[in-house]
Amino acid sequence: MNYEDFYNQSIQNPEAFWAAQANEIDWFTKPQDILSTDETGYPLWYKDGSLNACYLALDKHINDGFGDQIAIIYDSPVTQTVKKYTYNEVKSEVARLAGGLLSLGLKKGHTAIIYMPMIPQAAFAMLACARIGVTHSVVFGGFAPHELAIRIDDCKPRLILTASSGIEIDRLIAYKPLVDEAIELAEHKPKKVVVLNRKLGARIPFKKYDVDYDALVYGSEEADCVPVETTHPLYVLYTSGTTGKPKGIVRDTGGYAVALKFSMQKIYGVQPGEVFWAASDVGWVVGHSFIVYGPLINRNTTIVFEGKPIKTPDASTFWRVIAEHKVSVMFTAPTAIRAIKKEDPNGEFIKQYDLSCLRTQFLAGERCDVATLEWYREHIPIPAIDHWWQTESGWPMIANMMGVEYLPIKPGSSGKAVSGYNIMILGENGQELGPNEEGYVVIKLPLPPGTLLDIWNDNQRFQAGYLQKFPGYYFSGDGGFKDENDYIFITGRVDDVINVAGHRLSTAEMEEIVASHHSVAECAVIGINDELKGQIPLALVVTKLGEAIEHFQLQHEIVKLVREQIGAVASLRDVVIVNRLPKTRSGKILRKLMRSIADGDNFQIPSTIDDEAIIDEIKEVLELAKIGSFK
Ligand code: COA
Ligand code: AMP
């Protein structure tokens, strides 16, 4: 079937379409009620079904006779390790870890936080939770204790699973002291902390709540899969929003399993048995959907990669992994390709590897600039597919559906709407815009299965953030336009969320931290263009009257504060002092205007500005500091 017909079916008769897709996975109780609504009127898929995500990811394949197939390849250039685990081996460890968690008092309905680096035990921990109906919340290892504490207080885990350390390019990061500090900071106190000792020399301060991971696994009996209802939260994944408090995106179990199986086959075009590699981190949605659950549910071999595209040890790493493990389809963020391109502009490393196994390269997580796409295509002549999605959706919303029909690529566009997503471009008043008119990217309800169910503990924020701006539509937070052939071009966020090296961060959260510095009277943090990371944050600060702090001292203190509170991953390095911030007459800070000035974009001076002279003042400061387009 061609894309057009397949897509139209999903929009014209979503119930029939998704009823058919539900047959692609095994259920303990097959759903009869395909599409209904909850008490607020929000669509629910497969409400009366029951299943288990860990069963689908592991046990099913063993029952089908594929227990000896490799499920996970752990490739870690930073520890110079390659280790392969069969489906039998993964199941055995996961089932015993699940047994261990039960022995520690965890049961269906509880939550657990996982704070681990990119090691297979992170995936084992997720699957062990899923096996017994415990809702997991994975926190990215690059987040500081303060961020971890916010998540502990919000999702109230009974237990945290962690490892002794992670490894960044040039340093060992001891995780256990960070977990202890987060528990001290949090009001909610988890009962146990399960610690995997990686024996890499990191400090592991002992606390009464500690449990040794290895001892727990080896001392426990295998636990069976617990059937859960379709809408049982498989996980809560926190993502940045427009306030200082991250949002806990709630993912269901049944709709998600169907959507992932569908994605692997129809979007990524991967058949069971093939090797699929998403070079991301389990702390992000890509890791949940396409390192752990998607490839395993589709019986692929997935790669857990502990390293970076460059410097571990060099820009050849990606090509070595693809050639060595015979990767068929790969996924990474454009920033990773930009980093490689910078180190190896002529693709010399690429020539040293046999990449004939690689069929398709997918790119997402941030806007894919045309130069990066073209560099890739020049050096590796396979389809390089930009595709668009979010933590909230859990799986791609705009893509080239490689398992359905490969459509011509239009550089700059992420492709056409994926089946199930009725994507529209609306104007400020909710009117649908015509071809090439830029507006808000929204999706007409119902969203397809597997997309967000709620915000953990905060349905009001869920309604206000996503559903109330345009009633009847999901508001994505992104701007964009469709051309006359229905290709969609995403132009960027319309809110305070920025994307730094494929990591989603909130400038509002950074602003709160910058504002807490004792010398700061007022500030604004904006995302400006960056050649490598896509975007980086810039803080513009007005100091308190009479404050005699040197610029470099203030910059140093603010950068340190943000690293301590959010983590190094925030990448805030540029702080400038200004006499005042541009505002409207009613006092609203004109962040977009500052962004345009820094990026060197054309802009119109808003008629509501209170004083135009400030534009030149800001330009001067940025010019002096050589920031953004003034570099
Ligand atoms: N634990 C601890 N610290 C971490 C971390 C982690 N898991 N991840 C990142 N950091 C730290 C880094 O060490 C760095 O610290 P520094 O400022 O002291 O050097 C800081 O956070 C910024 O990290 P990053 O943005 O990753 O920059 P980088 O210069 O180390 O690497 C890239 C740049 C482009 C190579 C890297 O960001 C990358 O590979 N990006 C792809 C991201 C991706 O796949 N995202 C998933 C979305 S699909
Ligand atoms: P995250 O929730 O971390 O996956 O970030 C989602 C956001 O990243 C989206 O709302 C977009 O702003 C941006 N994004 C992701 N993929 C793309 C893409 N292919 N093109 C443009 N922006 C993207």
Domain ranges of the chain: 3-307+387-480, 501-630
Counting ligand 2 atoms within 8 A of each CB, the residue from 504, 507, 529, 569 with the most, and so the one to mutate, is 504
Average pLDDT estimate for 553-574: 95
Is the bond leading into 313 cis (omega within 30 degrees of zero)?
A: yes
Give pLDDT, residue 512.
Answer: 94
Q: pLDDT at residue 242 above 90?
A: no
DSSP code string of 364-380: -SS---HHHHHHHHHHS
Give pLDDT, residue 412.
Answer: 95
Model confidence at 616, in pLDDT bands (50, 70, 90)? very high
Counting ligand 2 atoms within 8 A of each CB, the residue from 490, 493, 505 with the most, and so the one to mutate, is 490
Model confidence at 243, in pLDDT bands (50, 70, 90)? confident
Give the span between the Cα atoms of 215 and 382, in whole angstroms: 46
Give pLDDT, residue 1.
Answer: 79
Give pLDDT, residue 631.
Answer: 86
Average pLDDT estimate for 336-349: 97
Instruction: Confirm or reject: Cβ of 42 under 6 Å from ligand 2.
Output: no
Average pLDDT estimate for 500-522: 94
Counting ligand 1 atoms within 8 A of each CB, the residue from 304, 533, 569 with the most, and so the one to mutate, is 569
Give the span between the Cα atoms of 325 and 306, in whole angstroms: 15
Average pLDDT estimate for 55-77: 98
DSSP, collapsed to helix, strand or coil, labels residue 535 as: strand
Pick the CATH number of 501-630 from 3.40.1130.10, 3.30.300.30, 3.30.559.10, 3.30.2320.50: 3.30.300.30
Sign of CA dihedral 401, 402, 407, 412: positive
Average pLDDT estimate for 117-123: 98
Give pLDDT, residue 169.
Answer: 86
Superfamily of domain 3-307+387-480: ANL, N-terminal domain (3.40.50.12780)
Average pLDDT estimate for 29-34: 98
Nearest CA to ligand 1 atom 1: 142
Nearest CA to ligand 1 atom 46: 280
Give pLDDT, residue 445.
Answer: 97
Instruction: Confirm or reject: Cβ of 502 under 6 Å from ligand 1.
Output: yes
Give pLDDT, residue 541.
Answer: 96
Tell me if 234 sits within 8 A of 253, measured CB to CB: yes
Q: Distances in Å between the alpha carbon of 602 and those of 253, 380, 479?
A: 46, 35, 18
Question: Looking at 273-277, 308-312, 366-370, 560-564, which range is the least confident one?
Answer: 366-370
Q: pLDDT at residue 241 above 90?
A: no
Tell me if 575 sits within 8 A of 555, measured CB to CB: yes
Nearest CA to ligand 1 atom 17: 568
Instruction: Confirm or reject: Cβ of 310 under 6 Å from ligand 1.
Output: yes
Model confidence at 546, in pLDDT bands (50, 70, 90)? confident
Q: Which is the closest atom of ligand 2 to the Cα of 285?
A: 4
